Structure 1
Amino acid sequence: MRALEDAGSAPHAVLACGEVRTCLLPARQALDVRAAAQLLGLRADERVLLSERPNLYARSPDTLTGVDCPLPSANGAHVRAVGTVAARAALTEGRVLQTSAYFRLPAAGPDRRRPWGHYLVRPGTVEPFGKLPHEAVAQGVLDGGRHGELDVGLIAGGLLTRLLRHPLLDQRPPLRSRPTRLRWVALPAEGGEGPSIERFTLAEDELRTVRLRVPEGTPAADAAGLCDDLALHDWLLTTVVRLLDGIRLGSEPPSARVGPGTQDPPAVVRALRPAVDHLLHLWMPRARVAKELAPLWEALEERPGFTRQWQALVQRIRDQLTLHAIPTLYREVEPAP
């Protein structure tokens, strides 16, 4: 099997794994660039990455968590591993918060544990004791593993919990939504083939799982970046679908006037406005995906058709807002008797 390889002195890897947590930032107003940098300042020795093109984006520096525990395995194999898991957080347009944790695994490791200095100079690498059953571990990670085994989701979730308690956040989100989890594994593509998505599933409890094949030399951070992007757009779709499902479209006529020159907006308009104000402009697939992995979005556009579904949802929202605006406009231009 050909190997995944990151830059630096880390050994060649045959498996990369991670999990992404995505949620609406619990704040009434979106954070500006300065506040985003304050929120994501996880390390004093490294600055937050800020970008304004093609959209406002902030990403924290990586943090490392040391681990020494068994790996999940679908066939029950007991494989102990030691190393560090990398974690980071990102904020898109000051509104959607994501935390991501990931690591890479070489095909084999030493028979004994080495000093921590050995692992610290290989950030984001977890080395097994002996040979790695990579297929069994990949499936074990997607299945979630058992108590006591390496759970990358706990690291991503812990970072998210820490950020959600930040004093910058007033805990007053503009709309109701649920967080989602995307768990992923990436194995080497066979025979020099390009990247591919072998499986993308929607599970219960807001969980999604993705199994990737990526070319030799693909850094684990690039695979994590692709999955961050996928998780962001899946969350947007999920949130808007649920918003529309919770509204009785077409069942409520515009409300009567409640005072001189004033009108109470219909419930449909009140429910849909937060989506227009805070979500509809966020759709921008592949904005920050590595060039070598960007073709994977083409597969998602074919099936299940992410952008087609998004465009249909956006048009549905705009149609509803237009329908509820027409009676008001008609009354405004209607001549007085």
Structure 2
Amino acid sequence: MAPRESTRTPRAVLACGEIRTCLLPARQALDIRAAAQLLALRADGRTLTSERPGLYARSPDTLTGVDCPLPSANGARVRAVGTVAARAALTEGRVLQTSARFHLPATGPDQRRPWGEYLVRPGVVEPLGKLPHEAVAQGVLGGGRTGDLDAGLIAEGLLTRLLRHPLLDQRPPFRSRPTRLRWAALPAAPGEGPRLERFTLAEDELRTVRLRVPEDTPAAGLAALCEDLALHDWLLTTVVRMLDGVRLGTGAARDTGAVVRTLRPAVDHLLHLWMPRARVSPELAALWDPLEERPGFTRQWRTLVQRIRDQLTLHAIPAPHQEVDPVP
């Protein structure tokens, strides 16, 4: 029997989301069982765990009902109703991410439906009337206005909830800053494959990603791609900051100790996490290619890793004894 028209999932013309990435505030990385306990967001949902190619755990989706205007670059006030899907992931028991996502059809009804009809379509936000998808995509990436639909607030709320979990001792092994990645995916031209149109580093730890993807590309797959981009961008950003300001080459014992204390956490906790595309679907994996060509994520990472290892090796070599003239 065919589903009722009102409950059929409509074809999406825009998918959007936002991701928070941060260091887990715990002295020790969580093992896979503790990670599953941390991410047990729903009693009726199962936390997915994996040990290959590295320890990884992902929560079940949670849904937040929304009824508010959509952000729009041209000032249009389009009301939308539906649910935003959010989830959390933990990589190697050390890097925590929360993300929220939704997708929108080209048109919706003129009046709001009963809530039950939105709940059976998780992650779908339906406009009342026609969707100006290009203007909304620009509005989402630009941040919108107060009161507009904001996936970032939902991701932030989930992050705040997880950071208060009793499993966490609030003693991270080093200082770092969280990052935000905001993304929007528009339809590709007929016959074209997925394409990364723009990756931007903005102020206040914000990154924006604009994509073009074929029809019916799952929003969950797009979210996984963007979570992967966000994870590796956070790793690069964090290691760059570790190296920034370290006093290299002075040779003083006190400076040697400071360099080792600053750089060793990178070796202990971060360097083994670099695995781009490890959990990206094959049809979207090619979207990493532009970032490998320019600015060259992996090339920069390898350079940073080599600098860290060189510095730690250099500071492990005892300084040559310096002769001094006796005091008369």
Counterparts of 2:114 and 2:225 in 1: how far apart (Å)?
33
- Asked if the contact 2:179/2:234 (under 8 Å) is kept, the reply is yes
Matched, 1:254 2:245: no
Residue 275 of structure 1 corresponds to 266
- Asked if the contact 1:102/1:124 (under 8 Å) is kept, the reply is yes
Look up the SS of the partner of 2:204 in the other structure.
Answer: coil
Residue 309 of structure 1 corresponds to 300
| Deviation per residue, 1:127-184 (Å, 9 max, x gap) | 0001100000000000100011101100000000000011110111011100000000
Look up the SS of the partner of 2:253 in the other structure.
Answer: coil
Counterparts of 1:22 and 1:246 in 2: how far apart (Å)?
23
Look up the SS of the partner of 1:295 in the other structure.
Answer: helix
Q: Pairwise mapping of residues 55-74 of structure 1 onto structure 2 (< 5 A)? A: 55-74=54-73
What amino acid does structure 1 have at the position aligned with 2:115?
A: W
The percentage of aligned residue pairs carrying the same residue is: 83
Residue 53 of structure 2 corresponds to 54
Counterparts of 1:265 and 1:203 in 2: how far apart (Å)?
34
What amino acid does structure 1 have at the position aligned with 2:214?
A: P
Counterparts of 1:220 and 1:236 in 2: how far apart (Å)?
24
Counterparts of 2:191 and 2:154 in 1: how far apart (Å)?
33
- Asked if the contact 2:12/2:216 (under 8 Å) is kept, the reply is no
- Asked if the contact 1:254/1:324 (under 8 Å) is kept, the reply is no
What amino acid does structure 2 have at the position aligned with 1:293?
A: L
- Asked if the contact 2:14/2:137 (under 8 Å) is kept, the reply is yes
What amino acid does structure 1 have at the position aligned with 2:317?
A: I
Counterparts of 1:46 and 1:149 in 2: how far apart (Å)?
29
Counterparts of 1:198 and 1:296 in 2: how far apart (Å)?
9
- Uncovered stretches (5+) of structure 2, i.e. residues with no partner: 1-6, 322-328
Residue 250 of structure 1: how far off its partner (Å): 1.2
Residue 110 of structure 1 corresponds to 109
Matched, 1:145 2:136: no
What amino acid does structure 2 have at the position aligned with 1:120?
A: L
- Uncovered stretches (5+) of structure 1, i.e. residues with no partner: 1-7, 256-263, 332-337
What amino acid does structure 1 have at the position aligned with 2:216?
A: G
- Asked if the contact 1:183/1:207 (under 8 Å) is kept, the reply is yes
- Asked if the contact 1:16/1:186 (under 8 Å) is kept, the reply is yes
Query: What is the alpha-carbon root mean square deviation over aligned residues?
Result: 1.4
Residue 128 of structure 1 corresponds to 127
Look up the SS of the partner of 2:134 in the other structure.
Answer: helix
Matched, 1:225 2:224: yes
Residue 74 of structure 2 corresponds to 75
What amino acid does structure 1 have at the position aligned with 2:141?
A: L
Q: How many residues align?
A: 315
Residue 13 of structure 1: how far off its partner (Å): 0.5
Q: Pairwise mapping of residues 180-219 of structure 1 onto structure 2 (< 5 A)? A: 180-219=179-218
What amino acid does structure 1 have at the position aligned with 2:277?
A: R
Residue 314 of structure 2 corresponds to 323
Residue 9 of structure 1: how far off its partner (Å): 3.2
| Deviation per residue, 1:224-263 (Å, 9 max, x gap) | 11000000000000000011003111124335xxxxxxxx
Residue 259 of structure 1 corresponds to none
Residue 159 of structure 1 corresponds to 158
Counterparts of 2:190 and 2:81 in 1: how far apart (Å)?
30
Q: Pairwise mapping of residues 29-44 of structure 1 onto structure 2 (< 5 A)? A: 29-44=28-43
Counterparts of 1:127 and 1:214 in 2: how far apart (Å)?
20
- Asked if the contact 1:254/1:327 (under 8 Å) is kept, the reply is no
What amino acid does structure 2 have at the position aligned with 1:74?
A: A
TM-score, with length taken from structure 2: 0.94
Residue 265 of structure 1: how far off its partner (Å): 6.5
- Asked if the contact 2:12/2:215 (under 8 Å) is kept, the reply is no
Counterparts of 1:265 and 1:141 in 2: how far apart (Å)?
46
- Asked if the contact 2:42/2:60 (under 8 Å) is kept, the reply is yes
Residue 99 of structure 1 corresponds to 98
Residue 191 of structure 1: how far off its partner (Å): 2.2
Residue 261 of structure 1 corresponds to none
TM-score, with length taken from structure 1: 0.91
Counterparts of 2:244 and 2:274 in 1: how far apart (Å)?
20
- Asked if the contact 1:192/1:216 (under 8 Å) is kept, the reply is no
Look up the SS of the partner of 1:299 in the other structure.
Answer: helix
Query: Quick check: 190-199 or 285-294, which moved more?
Result: 190-199
Look up the SS of the partner of 1:170 in the other structure.
Answer: coil
Counterparts of 1:169 and 1:151 in 2: how far apart (Å)?
28
Counterparts of 1:143 and 1:306 in 2: how far apart (Å)?
24
Counterparts of 1:187 and 1:24 in 2: how far apart (Å)?
31
Counterparts of 2:188 and 2:248 in 1: how far apart (Å)?
46
